[in-house]
Structure 1
């Protein structure tokens, strides 16, 4: 006789209700019975892979990119950017949604780059504006009067008998103000020079004033 007649038949797989299980499903159950570790994987049952880390990388990367160009607030991109990159790399290693993970990495890196450029530009312009400045105040008057000028911290008042001049140095914003008044119809003039450049002048009778910090002064800065 053939060996097949003496080979015992494998009983068909059944479910808990003693109903026959399809052959393909029975094979899966048999494989899971032989390898219990497979029962904890959703992929074995055909479930879609998780995307939590990939989505987190995309969202954090987008935040890093959007806030990067905002001065001061943009420094937060130096925190959000690396987080997006780390989450994106971990998501790729865990075989999560590749497109989302890569997009998060790219946005996080771009956010850090833009934030770095903006920070350098802000620091440069702040250094150009806030620094040590030398101001020269000049008053022309044919009669006694009173002058008031800003010395970098406060307004100082002095009595004058005619022409007057004062040099002041201070650290801070390039702001200066000078005013002079005299009784009667005295002919008055004022001039303010900032860091060697004439900032503003004015003439009149009775009272005149000169104030810097306006657009006229900025256009006279080197390179403007």
Structure 2
């Protein structure tokens, strides 16, 4: 069972600017997104979370410092203008080789989602939680990351990709080989890191189609999230 997590929270969240000064602090059902993520990870049995911060980092750090959390919270500061793989790499030294659940601060999920990835583990590379319910109303087809699989292996991944048979839910289990793959890239992104491991047969999936999740990336998604009590309770 994985006990560490990396929470990517460096983004600017320009499409949510009317609701909050930064994406991690955007309130959903009265609590910031970063609050939902940290408490959800704790409920899943995670004991330590490395949070990567960038845009408005001082403001987010002030919020983190103002609360007592049910997990040990550490942080790393990155340039929010760089690809998201840079944020993951910034957390790697703090993990000291341990596997971790890798999650996005703006993806609201149930604790069971984190638990499932923590139990499966990285499997020698990475494991991605996927959803096979194509065409669901909470998914923005122009923004969601699409995945093509053969059995439990990833064969392709990307935005607006065809054909595809599932969606990337934004929750992974990753190990040292994933960070090593990212380190070889000039502009590391999570998607490119997945592609590198997929080419070696080391990128697998676990089905999370029975679990609720939503990417809170814009005002319509925020409105859906506000009404989604199974996630925000």
TM-score by length of 2: 0.18
Higher helix share: 1
Please tell me whether Structure 1 or Structure 2 has the larger radius of gyration of its CA atoms: 1
**Greater relative contact order (CA < 8 Å, ≥ 6 in sequence):** 2
